[in-house]
Amino acid sequence: MKLFEMTQGEFLVLRPAGQLTSATSAEFEKEVRSRIEAGNRRVVLDLADLDYISSAGLRVLLVLAKLLKRDNGTLAVCAMNETVTQVFEVTGLSSILATHQTLNEAIAAE
Question: What sign does the CA torsion over 68, 74, 79, 85 have?
Answer: positive
* Residue 22 lies near another protein (rule: CB under 8 A): yes
| Beta carbon of residue 77, minimum distance to another protein (angstroms, whole number) | 14
- 81 within 8 A of 101, measured Cβ to Cβ: no
R_g of the chain computed on alpha carbons? 12
Rounded to a whole number of angstroms, the minimum distance from the CB of residue 102 to another protein is 16
Q: How many residues bind another protein (CB under 8 A)?
A: 22
Provide the terminal-to-terminal Cα distance of the chain, rounded to the nearest Å.
27
42 to 71: interface string for another protein, x by CB under 8 A: ---------xx-xxx-xx--x---------
Using CA atoms, how far apart are residues 110 and 98, in angstroms rounded to an integer? 9
> d(Cα 104, Cα 18) in Å, to the nearest integer?
22
Binding flag, residue 96, another protein (CB under 8 A): yes
Nearer to another protein, 78 or 93 (CB): 93
Write out the residues near another protein by the rule CB under 8 A.
19, 21-23, 51-52, 54-56, 58-59, 62, 82-83, 86-87, 89-93, 96
